[in-house]
Amino acid sequence: MATDEEVQSRARALSSPLRLRILRLCLHESRTNKEIADLLDINPATSLHHVRTLLANGFLEAEETRRGNRGAKEVPYRSTKLSWGTKLPDAAPLLVDTFLQEIDGLSPQEIKVIRVGLKLNEETQKEMMSRIHAVIEDYAMRDAAPDGVATSLFVAHHLDLSSTPPTSKHTESAESATKA
């Protein structure tokens, strides 16, 4: 069982869209700090700071050191999937920002979207979200298919403010889980 300090440290480690993107990059393929920096078009020192934060909190693990193209020592990192079960209070803005960064530059044909309006009571809403979470968790925790293509899924459920004003019953603090 994680201590309060560990829970807070993990939440802080996941409070950056850049760190969430690093976890996604290292989910299906080990990546070195240089590879991460190149893919995200950031300075390697900046990348290393974020990699070390994720490593210290158990979200990344270092794999066996290897030699790079020019003989330099390289450490590849892989996501541990710990982020999937980590609760992030008030994570919606962070996850939306991360999602928008990840789809930036994709063509509309590269994004599949489902949008539907629903009118559910609290019990049915909880049932639906629980079932959606269970299906996603089932696929998220499976081993990656060797012939698979890395993709991402973003699901958002929100009040339709144009027809239902928020009430205290519906605006309680929500926690979100993220899977890198």
User: How many CA atoms lie less than 13 Å away from 26 in the CB half-sphere?
Assistant: 33
Cβ atoms of residues 23 and 13 within 8 Å: no
- Distance of alpha carbon 52 from alpha carbon 60, whole angstroms: 9
Check pLDDT > 70 for residue 166.
no
Instruction: Output the pLDDT for position 72.
Output: 86
Terminal-residue alpha carbon distance, the chain: 22
- The model's pTM is 0.81
- Distance of alpha carbon 91 from alpha carbon 178, whole angstroms: 9
- Distance of alpha carbon 132 from alpha carbon 139, whole angstroms: 11
- Distance of alpha carbon 68 from alpha carbon 75, whole angstroms: 9
Residue 27 — very low, low, confident or very high, per pLDDT cuts 50/70/90? very high
The structure tokens listed for 76 are: 């590849």
Check pLDDT > 80 for residue 10.
yes
Residue 86 — very low, low, confident or very high, per pLDDT cuts 50/70/90? confident
CA torsion, ordered 34, 97, 99, 174, to nearest 10 deg: 120
Cβ atoms of residues 152 and 140 within 8 Å: no
Compute the 3-state secondary structure of the chain and give helix, strand, coil in percent, each to the nearest 5.
45, 10, 45
Check pLDDT > 50 for residue 172.
no
Check pLDDT > 70 for residue 170.
no
Which H or E run contains 89?
Answer: strand 87-89
Residue 28 — very low, low, confident or very high, per pLDDT cuts 50/70/90? very high
The structure tokens listed for 163 are: 């027809």
How many Cβ atoms from other residues are within 10 Å of residue 22's Cβ?
A: 28
Residue 90 — very low, low, confident or very high, per pLDDT cuts 50/70/90? confident
Judged by DSSP in three states, 51 sits in helix
Return the bridge partners of 85, or none: none
